Amino acid sequence: MVWFFARGHEAVQVETRFDNASGEYVLEIGWANRPLETERFRDHSAFEARVASVEARLRADSWAQVGGPEILPDGWRGPFTN
């Protein structure tokens, strides 16, 4: 999924997905004029906690979410426990 945030004329994109090849959850943060930040997690709880931390930091720094999250064209292909 992809979320977009804005603050003034600045924008940031936050993407979450599951990498089937490596079995890792991936968090990518795309800031304007900065290299893409990529973090990988094997533990789902750690991944969720980090995503929540990023969202809280953006809110604290006056970033506003623009619209709702967009589902990636190939969808979430994470592991299923059932």
> What tens digit of pLDDT does each residue of 24-58 get?
999 999 998 889 999 999 999 999 999 999 999 99
HSE-CB at 16 with a 13 A cutoff on CA atoms is 17
Contacts of 69 by beta carbon, 8 Å cutoff, 6+ apart = 1, 2, 3
Pair of tokens at residue 12: 């940031």
HEC assignment per residue over 42-53? CCHHHHHHHHHH
Q: Which two tokens stand for residue 22?
A: 């490596």
What percent of the chain clears pLDDT 70, i.e. is strictly above it? Answer: 87
pTM attached to this predicted model: 0.82
